[in-house]
Amino acid sequence: MTLLSIPNVSEGARPEVVDGLAERVRATAGRVLDIHRDPVHNRSVLTCTADPEGLIDSMTTLALEAARVINLSDHRGVHPRIGALDVCPVVPHGESIETATRVAGALADSIGNAGLPVYLYGDAAERAATRELPDIRRGGIEGLIERSRSGLPPDRGPGEIDPARGVVCVGARGPLIAFNVWLVADVSTARAIARQIRTASGGPPGIRALGLRMDEGISQVSMNLTRPDRMGIDDAFSLVEQAAQARGAAVRATEIVGLVEEIYLPNPDATAARLLIEPGRTVESLLS
């Protein structure tokens, strides 16, 4: 029985900063299973585990340290963000979602008491307006600050949001796969494909998608697969590949961000796996 936390920090271009954040987690009883850095997104995803008390302590420490060393006013990166420690979900692995929700609530209390504004999302949400993470992110930090002053204040911590430090979104959720497909195409093509396949625009269940510019002539369809039991990596890749082909764009590579449960790895003989920038790694292999 294990609880994971998968904090996303708004820093991926300075490895020494990310390594320092990971060391703070390790120094407070947390175990860091994986670090995924992305300098273009300017974002890093850590996969951490500890007992409930240790998880609360280590993630609170991480939130405070991230707010100290990351200034959102100077941040440049293609991935949207509203906080230094932008997202901090608690995820059960062989544990109940009820336990994860309880720990997420206690974590939100701890971070809020330490002086940072917190919004609760996912299974830990206390308001319908904050259940879906994209709804909190809408309009970026400026839009959130405006909404916080007109009926959507933080759930925990200070009511006033510092735009340099932002907020921490603490949630509880089941398995989620962050999966990216790189295209030889301009960003308008990637955005059109993301719009076509995402659930919110009428696409299949379980897909959140953004189109991002990575380099000159190179773009990315960046996805969160929120229902991997219904929409996994191979199916999502097929959707992007077909949409790209219809627009005359070529698929260049694929990428799994962080760890996945073993049952959600792509078929090793299928195209999505063969195009991976790095082989997919499983939670199980690093917990053993």
Q: pLDDT digits over 163-222, tens only?
A: 999 999 999 999 999 999 999 999 999 999 999 999 999 999 999 999 999 999 999 999
Contacts of 270 (CB under 8 A, 6+ apart): 234, 237
Query: Catalytic residue among 36, 41, 75, 79, which?
Result: 79
Give the integer Cα–Cα distance in Å for 134 and 183: 24
75 is catalytic: no
What is the CA angle 49-54-60, rounded to 5? Answer: 95
Phi, psi of 52 (to 5 degrees): -50, -45
Cβ atoms 101, 124 nearer than 8 A: yes
What number does CATH give the domain 177-287? Answer: 3.30.70.670
User: What is the arithmetic mean of pLDDT over 251-268?
Assistant: 97
Q: pLDDT tens across 29-77, in order?
A: 889 999 999 999 999 999 999 999 999 999 999 999 999 999 999 999 9
Give the integer Cα–Cα distance in Å for 55 and 107: 8
For the stretch 106-122, what's the b/e string if a residue is b when 16 or more beta carbons lie within 10 angstroms of its beta carbon? Answer: bbbbbbbebebbbbbbb
- State the pLDDT confidence band at 1, using cuts at 50, 70 and 90: low
Side chain identity at 31, as an amino acid letter?
A: R
Give the integer Cα–Cα distance in Å for 119 and 46: 20
> How many residues are given for the chain?
288
Where exactly are the structural domains of the chain?
A: 2-172, 177-287
Fold topology of 2-172:
Formiminotransferase-cyclodeaminase; Chain B, domain 1 (3.30.990)
End-to-end CA distance of the chain: 12
Instruction: Determine the 3-state secondary structure of 185 from DSSP.
Output: coil
